[in-house]
Amino acid sequence: MSCELTLDDVVTEFLINSCRLCPPSRNLHAVNAAFLCFDTVLSYDEVDTELIRIPLTTGSVAEFYIEPILPYLGDIDVMYHCNTELAIPRGHPPPTQLPAEFHNYVKVYEIIDSHLPGYVYLELRYLLTECSDTDNYDSVEYDRGRYFANSYYSGDADVHGPAVIFYSQHERVDRVSCVKSARSTQLTE
């Protein structure tokens, strides 16, 4: 019987033995990230009071606990999507049913490949309206040419790519608006 380890085994063993989960009560960085997620959910939309922002912490806070050499150089990354938006692959018909988490009006964007690897454009294609009698959604097509843009923040916030950057308790926070993909949602066409 051979005891040889593959490269995958060596890397896995290294990560398991050298990284540990952060103790929840000791990591102020993770506590701040949870607070920022809570703040994202509670942010109020004056136009649509039923709009819900659904946050997800990403980046170093969500990954293995590795104590930074200089603790003040880290940042907090929070992504969020709204219950009023959905992305579908280009050329697919709009869904007729959505999970209960979605609003009764949903903007549906088509995913269009860009010239940059890993990046896409989101073109607004449909507006779904829920029928109260059947719980199905009716769709209306939009004219082409309208694209998804982050409009949640305005004013003095710094923008770097898709991230809106601000500072909370001396920590940099990158907040990124995203759109939930139909690939990650159980849909019926």
* Of residues 121, 139, 117, the one with CA closest to residue 130: 139
DSSP annotation of 65 reads B
Given pLDDT bands bounded at 50, 70 and 90, which one contains residue 25?
very low
**Terminal-residue alpha carbon distance, the chain:** 52
Residue ranges of domains in the chain: 7-184
User: Is the pLDDT higher at 75 or at 63?
Assistant: 75
User: Residue 57 burial by CB count (10 A; 0-12/13-18/19+): exposed, middle or buried?
Assistant: middle
Higher pLDDT, 163 or 168: 163
> Are 76 and 172 contacting, i.e. CB atoms less than 8 angstroms apart?
yes
CA distance 184 to 9: 30
For residue 92, pLDDT beyond 80: yes
CA distance 162 to 83: 19
**Contacts with 91 (C-beta within 8 Å, 6 or more apart), sequence order:** 110
- Please state the pTM of the whole predicted model: 0.67
The answer to whether 131 and 137 have CB atoms below 8 angstroms apart is: yes
pLDDT of residue 44: 58
